A = this chain, B = another copy of it.
């Protein structure tokens, strides 16, 4: 069984972006992503009044280092000023590396 190092890029942002972001991910080299519903508080303050209706999403993309950086840079440039968005990257080992 082969383990290969990859990056896990995690994005927590507003649900409003769910229809827009997949196209960005695809253009920048991501081969898949996982979305879970989320809620929370952040530097924009208490969101309990908004997330009930609009919600947040937590997106994970498993990819190589270059793709992770490209997507993170794109998100920062394009969305940080206008949307609540948190991005972080961690090191993971994957099986089936041919898929990422």
Contacts and interface: CB of A to CB of B under 8 A. Distances in A.
- Shortest 10 CB-CB contacts between residues of A and residues of B: A32-B42, A34-B40, A88-B92, A88-B94, A90-B92, A89-B93, A43-B99, A36-B38, A34-B38, A87-B95
Contacts of A3: 89
A69 interface: yes
Report whether over half of chain A's contact residues are helix, strand or loop; otherwise say mixed: strand
How many copies of this chain sit in the oligomeric assembly?
3
A24 interface: no
B35 A35 contact: no
Nearest to A7: B93
A39 B32 contact: no
B58 A76 contact: no
A98 to B, nearest CB: 9
